[in-house]
Amino acid sequence: MQSLFTKRNIPLFFLFFISIFWSYYYTHDIWFNDYGQSKDELWLMIDIFITIPLVCFYFLGNNCKQALIKALVYMGLLVLLGSFIIPTQQKHFWSYLENMRYIGIVLVALFETFIISTVIIAMKSAFKNNKDPDLVISEPLERIMGQSITTQLMQFDIRLWTFVLFPSKINSDNYMGEQHFYGDLKDGAQSFLKGFVFVILFQMPIMHVLLHFIWSPQAANIITGLTLFSLAYFIAEYRALTKRPISLDNEYLIIRYGLSNPLSIKLADIQTVKLNTKTIYRNTKIKRYNLAGIPNIEISLKNNKFEKVYLGLNNPSEFIEVLTQQL
């Protein structure tokens, strides 16, 4: 995954910064607002209608469509924020902005629906041509939206629902690579996921009824909705673990594990590969692709943002032998 600190993501970081700043400004009495005497809505409106569009188009100017979408979404979010943080007595034009917000949301929703429909049509055509399923998802999105963190999140989301709704459309043989390896049977990884699915199915109706009467119907509906999404995730992860391989070709090691976005590593960047028998803890310099137990393969890298990659595979010895020959 590319670095978060890129030019494309500066508008998002700017949105976070001004959201925190204005939240503090309007909810606290400090010297900057004359100790609560000057909390005019005008200052936030300037950021909404002038600063945010300028920042989006300056840093995303090479993709005007993406800049426009982000500007509209960020403007709508700031209007929503203002509804909560600006004192009622200071709201003169804000009620009009709140009504306009819904128009903007509808327009963005229609545009996003058009984009998603275009992606689905492109995916349907590509699946028929036995194309790599990951490219089927990524190429239409990147062609329309460009490469960004948002695009990667959308790829993950589409991949999730593809494995939930259309798993039969995914053929493991169509993934790029000459030799494929899997990690679904390692330490009962797939059974581990199946257990989560059954636990969620069992406890969800009981939890919903309890929350409905003990807390509130609205809270019960919200939590049940989130639980349904987690159920969809575990079902998709369960299916993806058996269908998305870790692959080798003449130039690349392509790591796919469950629903995660693929990671391509040049063979020339691999320094060593060996069996691993020790517990591996989280670290910014390593990547772990392992669901259950201890990862059984350690790959040391050179000329890469990560120092090591750890894998959990069904047949580690065979993988090491094949990769060593490739190197």
**127-137 pLDDT, tens digit each:** 667 778 888 77
At 300, list the tokens. 């040391």
CA distance 195 to 238: 10
Stretches in the chain below the pLDDT threshold 50 = 1-2
Element holding 222 (H helix, E strand): helix 217-243
Which residues, at least 6 apart from 220, have a Cβ–Cβ distance to it below 8 Å? 208, 209, 211, 212
299 DSSP 8-state letter: E
- The C-alpha atoms of residue 313 and residue 315 are separated, in whole angstroms, by 6
Find tokens 């020790």 and name the residue: 278
Q: What is the pLDDT of residues 97-115, one digit of tens each?
A: 766 666 766 766 676 566 5
Pair 299, 260: CB distance under 8 Å: no
Helix (H, G, I), strand (E, B) or coil at 245: coil
Q: Any idea how long the chain is?
A: 327
pLDDT of residue 1: 41
| Chain position carrying tokens 């987690």 | 230
Angstrom distance (rounded) from CA 159 to CA 140: 13
Are 256 and 239 contacting, i.e. CB atoms less than 8 angstroms apart?
no
Closest CA to 267 of 257, 285, 255: 255
Q: Is 134 helix (H, G, I), strand (E, B) or coil?
A: helix
Residue 7: phi and psi, rounded to 5, are -60, -35
Q: For residues 149 and 163, give the distance between their C-alpha atoms in angstroms, rounded to a whole number.
A: 21
Cα distances (angstroms) measured from residue 321 to each of 57, 112, 220: 51, 47, 52
What pLDDT was estimated at residue 2? Answer: 44
Q: What are phi and psi of 275, to 5 degrees?
A: -70, 150
- Rounded CA-CA distance 237/257 in Å is 9
Instruction: Write down the pTM of the prediction.
Output: 0.65
**Which pLDDT does position 101 carry in this prediction?**
60
Which ranges in 129-183 belong to alpha helices (H)? 133-145, 149-165
Q: Which two tokens stand for residue 296?
A: 């059984």
**pLDDT at position 116, please?**
61
Q: Cα 42 from chain centroid?
A: 35
